[in-house]
């Protein structure tokens, strides 16, 4: 496991230390997927659900460099689910559960993994697992296009 100091040194080799030492960007933790999904669908957008793991450097990279900026700048609807958390949320069907139990129910084994949810909590694009690819931004954009297209088709 990479420790914070090693991770900062690694980022420093790419000239990214200043960004890593800035206040970390956060995503809201899910409290109620039906409510969060309803807000996204009202905005004619899919809901992105980032499955994360506390202390995961790839999760931090995806959160801080992709999802949080897109949420702030583009109004992307995104929430975070912690793989090992006992925090309470509700499934897309409205059933009370914990973050950890929901991750197991979805069969997610890798952090980070991003899910793209449309009407009734149905996945409307292929899941995006991992975060270490040089092409992550392109993969994310591709899945967003697919999710938006399928979400539009569901509304017709």
What per-residue confidence (pLDDT) applies to 1? 46
pLDDT of residue 25: 81
How many percent of the chain have pLDDT more than 70? 81
H or E element, residue 146? helix 136-155
Residue 40 clears pLDDT 50, i.e. is over it:
yes
Q: What is the pLDDT of residues 88-133, one digit of tens each?
A: 999 999 999 999 999 999 999 999 999 999 999 999 999 999 987 8
pLDDT in tens, 131-141: 878 899 999 99
Q: Is the pLDDT of residue 50 over 70?
A: yes
| Average pLDDT of the chain to the nearest whole number | 87
Q: Residue 149 belongs to what H/E stretch?
A: helix 136-155
Query: Six-digit token pair at 48?
Result: 């992105």
pTM (two decimals)? 0.82
Residues facing 48 on adjacent strands: 78, 116
Name the 3-class secondary structure at 107: coil
Domains of the chain and any CATH numbers: 24-155 (3.40.30.10)
3-state helix, strand, coil in the chain (%, to 5): 45, 15, 35
Residue 6: what pLDDT? 57
């Amino acid at each position: 496991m990479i420790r914070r100091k090693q991770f900062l040194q690694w980022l420093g080799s790419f000239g990214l230390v200043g960004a890593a030492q800035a206040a970390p960007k956060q995503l809201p933790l899910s409290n109620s997927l039906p409510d969060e999904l309803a807000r996204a669908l009202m905005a004619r957008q899919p809901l992105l659900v980032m499955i994360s793991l506390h202390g995961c450097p790839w999760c931090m990279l995806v959160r801080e460099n992709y999802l949080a900026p897109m949420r702030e700048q583009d109004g992307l609807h995104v929430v975070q689910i912690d793989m090992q958390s006992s925090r309470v949320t509700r499934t897309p069907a409205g059933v009370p559960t914990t973050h950890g139990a929901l991750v197991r129910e979805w069969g997610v084994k890798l952090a980070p993994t991003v899910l793209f949810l449309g009407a009734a909590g149905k996945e409307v694009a292929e899941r995006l697992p991992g975060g270490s690819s040089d092409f992550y931004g392109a993969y994310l954009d591709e899945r967003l296009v697919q999710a938006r297209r399928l979400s539009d088709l569901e509304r017709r």
